[in-house]
Amino acid sequence: MSPGPARRLVPSYLATGGVGAPEHSRFEELTALQATGRSALPHHTPAHQRLLNLVSDGGLTVMEIAGYLRLPVGVVKMLAAQLVSDGHLRAAAPLPDALAPAINAGRPDKALLEEVMHGLLAL
């Protein structure tokens, strides 16, 4: 009767409140989300509220929100889609694409981004 590996207690589907994502929602990992300022509705789950609290002071990407909330990225996408369709969030196009001078320009490679990150941290 030795304890096994720590087992999940709260499943992710609790975050969405049992409701699926709207059909047309297409979010990327780097889609930036910003609050519109509307407060949460009664049907919003604690996860929705936490997401709104996170982005209330400024925009965050889906990936960052997933990191903060410790939720799978897909779940955050679903939450974000629900909140966008409810009018609580504004989604912006992913930043690297916005920065790209041309439509078909490639993104910076991973090594370069890591160097930049280390540079930033060294500031």
Partner 1 sequence: MPSLPLPPDCPVRPRTVLGARTSRTNPVRTWDFGKRAASQGGRTDAPLPYPRRQVGLPGVGVPSRPISAGDRRSHSEDPLSVTPNPEAAVAVLGAATVVGTVAVVALAKSRAALSRRCAELSAQTAEQSQALAALQAREAAQFEELRHLVSSRLPAAALHLISDHHPVPGALLDDGSDYAAQIQAAHDLFVESLVEERGRIDAAARAALRGACTAIQAQSFRLQTLVDDLQRDCRDPEVLQEYFRIDQLNERVLRLVQKAAIVSGSWPGLVRPDTHLPDVVAGATSRLHGFERVQVHTKLPAGGVGVVGRAAEPVAVACAELMANALESSRGDLAVEVTLLQTDNGSVCVQIDDAGKGMTREAVARGTRLVAGDNAGNLLITELGDPPALGFAAIGQLVADHGFHVSVDQVSPYGGVRAVLAVPKHLLTTIDETAEPPSAMAAMPTPAPRTPIPPVTAVSAEPAEGLRDVSAPSAGDAHTLPQRRRRSGSSRGRSLTRAPRPVDPEEAGTAWGDFEQAVAAGRDGTESENKDKS
Out of 75, 83, 89, 91, the residue judged to bind partner 1 by CB under 8 A = 75
Taking CA atoms, 32 is separated from 3, 60, 90, 98, 123, in Å, by 41, 5, 8, 11, 25
For residue 78, give both structure tokens.
């679903």
Alpha helices in the chain (DSSP H): 46-55, 62-69, 73-86, 95-99, 110-122
Q: Site residues for partner 1, window 14-73 (CB under 8 A)?
A: 14-21, 25, 35, 37, 39-40, 45-47, 49-54, 56-58, 60, 68-73
CB of 47 to partner 1, least distance (A): 4
- From 30, 48, 46, select the one nearest 91 (Cα to Cα): 30
Binding of residue 103 to partner 1 (CB under 8 A): no
Q: By C-beta, is 93 or 117 nearer to partner 1?
A: 117
- From 56, 50, 52, select the one nearest 86 (Cα to Cα): 52
Provide the residue type at 93 as one letter: A
CB of 15 to partner 1, least distance (A): 5
Q: By C-beta, is 49 or 92 nearer to partner 1?
A: 49
Interface with partner 1 by CB under 8 A: which residues?
A: 1, 3-4, 6-21, 25, 35, 37, 39-40, 45-47, 49-54, 56-58, 60, 68-75, 77-78, 81, 99, 101, 105, 108, 112, 115-117, 119-121, 123
